[in-house]
């Protein structure tokens, strides 16, 4: 109530009611009901509000839904699928409207996939299912439901094509697609039916012929087939290349098979594999190709080397062999594309190769790589003192492949003195009189250093003493 004063007249009073604008609603939340495509919005009640106005705006434009309610919840039906929406709520009191609440963003369910279609690959017994892109979809899931409880499925992130593998032969399947986003899945698409090829021939066996680029396929004859039935074996590789052979007997050779490939093989009693009598699919892998991109990295400190190569898609095991010039052989086995060779001899050149194996087939060897280990530790170390200038002359037997040598003298207190030489002698200067030293030497080829030589005398840890100070 406000009191107004009129200076020209007698005092009079007038009552005026002033209402502040309501505050915007807080804690606005929105949830989408995935199957009904409705949106449920709620918020906290505001004490000064008479009612609330809810606005739902599609980010793509064109769609603007609203509801006016005295409750703290509102439901909007038939929200457009595959759209992002901004949700805002305002408080109303009389003729005053609050600022809108903090905007809440939400995604509706993806639209139902349309245009589903499919084709059968009768060699691999798989189905290629495709459809039109569904608005609002982040991924898709394809479901195949067959007779007698047979099921299969596949998923894809953004493609609108998916291959459903390992279908049973002679089965009628119903295929459907669901679109998904982070919140919802769409309603399933329309269903299409695909009948896989019959599966009446008895089982088959396939044997890869290692290093002969062929596969022997063996099958049983059909009952009551007669002697003139032609059987056709068809092999499909992972790269979708094909091999064929046929015979009226019980076997034939598929020629032209390549290393590093897995083949899916069927045998049919006519050229039309999808409608004829046919065998179940049989999978077989050829021998691995010779390993490629061989790399050898030596570790100087522990006389080892890490050997690596490009992996084979069919290899189950790899075998690495390193043969030294001295005839010494090192090897290691691995199921991955690297392997560590340990205990290598110093001052040796090794020839390194790798073979890959799968079941009963082993690849040809890779191209050779050369590994040269670091020099061996020097032998025959001797020390001669020069008492005049407090120095020591170190000498030793030279080592093959050594580029230079490091000599060292260590005092009992840990102080070190060094010398370096390209010849098998080296002088250490500035020895301190009356000090006990250990002398040693190591060889280097510029990349690897040898271990330090043994002390100059046979007793381990033998020390040389500089003449006493005068």
pLDDT tens profile 344-376: 998 889 999 999 999 889 999 999 999 988 888
Q: Do 379-460 and 205-285 have the same topology in CATH?
A: yes
3-state secondary structure of 149: helix
Mean pLDDT of 259-276: 79
Residue-level pLDDT at 16: 60
Q: Which of 222-231, 250-259, 387-396, 432-441 is predicted least confidently?
A: 222-231
Q: Which CATH class is domain 379-460?
A: mainly beta
Closest CA to 68 of 49, 55, 77: 55
Rounded alpha-carbon distances, angstroms, from residue 283 to 6, 60, 143, 206, 250: 104, 50, 24, 8, 18
Contact 274, 255 (CB under 8 A): no
**Length of the chain as a residue count:** 470
Architecture of domain 205-285: Sandwich (2.60)
Mean pLDDT of 370-391: 88
Report the alpha-carbon distance of residue 299 to residue 213 in Å, rounded.
39
Architecture of domain 292-373: Sandwich (2.60)
Q: Which CATH class is domain 29-107?
A: mainly beta
More confident residue, 269 or 146: 146
Task: Write the DSSP string, 62-128.
Answer: S-EEEEEESSSEEEE-SPPTT-EEEEEEEEEETTEEPPPPPPEEEEPPPPPP---EEEEETTTTEEE
More confident residue, 231 or 470: 231
Mean pLDDT of 169-174: 84
For the chain, domain boundaries: 29-107, 114-195, 205-285, 292-373, 379-460
Given pLDDT bands bounded at 50, 70 and 90, which one contains residue 466?
low
* 7 pLDDT higher than 60: no
Mean pLDDT of 133-146: 94
Q: What is the mean pLDDT of the chain?
A: 86
Rounded alpha-carbon distances, angstroms, from residue 338 to 148, 276, 290, 294, 373: 46, 47, 15, 10, 19
Contact 176, 146 (CB under 8 A): no
In DSSP terms, 331 is beta-bridged to 321
* 143 pLDDT higher than 90: yes
pTM attached to this predicted model = 0.56
Residue-level pLDDT at 452: 82
Given pLDDT bands bounded at 50, 70 and 90, which one contains residue 222?
low
Residue-level pLDDT at 368: 96
Architecture of domain 114-195: Sandwich (2.60)
How far out from the chain centre does Cα 71 lie?
Answer: 52
Contact 167, 154 (CB under 8 A): no
Contact 221, 250 (CB under 8 A): yes
The two structure tokens encoding residue 354:
């790798």
Given pLDDT bands bounded at 50, 70 and 90, which one contains residue 200?
low
The two structure tokens encoding residue 234:
């068809």
* 3 pLDDT higher than 50: no
Q: For residue range 416-450, list pLDDT tens digits in order.
A: 999 999 999 999 999 988 888 889 999 998 888 88
């Amino acid at each position: 109530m406000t009191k107004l004063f009129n200076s020209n007249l007698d005092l009079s009073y007038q009552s005026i009611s002033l209402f502040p604008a309501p505050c915007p609603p807080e804690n606005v939340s929105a949830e989408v009901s995935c199957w009904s495509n409705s949106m449920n919005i709620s918020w906290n009640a505001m004490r000064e509000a008479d009612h609330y106005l809810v606005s739902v705006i599609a980010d793509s434009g064109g769609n603007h839904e609203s509801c006016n309610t005295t409750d703290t919840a509102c439901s909007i039906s038939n929200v457009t699928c595959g759209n992002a929406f901004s949700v805002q709520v305002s408080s109303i009191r009389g003729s005053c409207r609050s600022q809108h609440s903090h905007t809440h963003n939400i995604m509706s369910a993806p639209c139902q996939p349309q245009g589903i279609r499919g084709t059968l690959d009768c060699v691999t017994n798989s189905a290629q299912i495709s459809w039109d892109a569904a608005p609002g979809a982040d991924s898709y899931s394809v479901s195949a439901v067959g007779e007698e409880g047979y099921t299969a499925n596949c998923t894809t992130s953004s493609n609108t094509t998916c291959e459903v593998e390992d279908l049973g032969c002679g089965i009628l399947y119903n295929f459907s697609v669901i679109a998904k986003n982070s919140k919802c899945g769409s309603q399933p698409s329309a269903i299409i039916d695909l009948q896989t090829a019959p599966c009446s021939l008895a089982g088959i066996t396939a044997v890869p012929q290692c290093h002969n680029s062929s596969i022997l396929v063996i099958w049983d004859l059909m009952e009551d087939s007669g002697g003139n039935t032609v059987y056709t074996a068809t092999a499909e590789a992972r790269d979708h290349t094909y091999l064929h052979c046929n015979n009226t007997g019980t076997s034939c050779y598929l020629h032209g098979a390549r290393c590093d490939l897995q083949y899916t093989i069927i045998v049919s009693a006519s050229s039309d594999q999808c409608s004829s009598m046919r065998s179940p699919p049989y999978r077989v892998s050829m021998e691995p190709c010779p390993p490629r991109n061989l790399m050898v990295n030596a570790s100087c400190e522990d006389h080892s080397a890490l050997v690596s190569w490009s992996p084979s898609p069919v290899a189950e095991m790899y075998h690495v062999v390193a043969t030294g010039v001295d005839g010494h052989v090192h090897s290691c086995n691995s199921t991955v594309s690297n392997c560590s060779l340990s205990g290598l001899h110093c001052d040796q050149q090794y020839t390194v190769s790798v073979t890959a194996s799968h079941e009963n087939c082993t690849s040809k060897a890779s191209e050779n790589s050369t590994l040269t280990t670091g020099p061996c530790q020097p032998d025959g170390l001797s020390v001669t003192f020069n008492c005049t200038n407090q120095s020591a002359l170190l000498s030793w037997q030279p080592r093959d492949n050594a580029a230079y040598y490091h000599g060292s003298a260590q005092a009992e207190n840990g102080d070190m003195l060094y010398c370096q030489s390209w010849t098998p002698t080296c002088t250490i200067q500035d020895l301190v009189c009356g000090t006990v030293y250990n002398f040693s030497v190591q060889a280097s080829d510029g990349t690897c250093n040898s271990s330090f030589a043994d002390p100059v005398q046979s007793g381990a840890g033998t020390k040389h003493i500089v003449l006493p100070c005068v």
